[in-house]
A and B are shown apart, each in its own frame.
Chain A
Amino acid sequence: MTTILDPTSERTVAARPRLARPASLDGLRVGLFDIGKSKGDIFLDRLEQRLTERGLDVKRYAKPTNTRPAPTPLLQQVATEVDVVIEALSD
Chain B
Amino acid sequence: MADLESRGIPVVGIATTEFIQAMEVQARALGTDPAYVFVPHPIQDRTNAELHALADEYLDRMLKELVSVSAVAAE
Contacts and interface: CB of A to CB of B under 8 A. Distances in A.
Interface in B44-75: 44, 46, 48, 51-52, 54-56, 59, 62-63, 65-71
A90 to B, nearest CB: 4
Nearest to A17: B33
Contact of A90 (B13, B55, B70): B13
B13 A22 contact: no
Contacts of A86: 11-12, 14, 62, 66
B5 A84 contact: no
Interface string A46-87: 110011000000000000000001100001101100111111
Interface residues of B, number: 44
A78 B48 contact: no
A78 B9 contact: yes
A46 B55 contact: yes
Contacts of B70: 23
B51 A90 contact: no
A79 to B, nearest CB: 4
Nearest to B48: A42
Given A22-B68, A91-B19, A84 B43 contact: no
A50 B13 contact: no
Contact of B1 (A17, A23, A76, A87): A87
Leading 6 A-B pairs by shortest Cβ distance: A90-B15, A46-B55, A79-B7, A88-B14, A91-B16, A21-B68
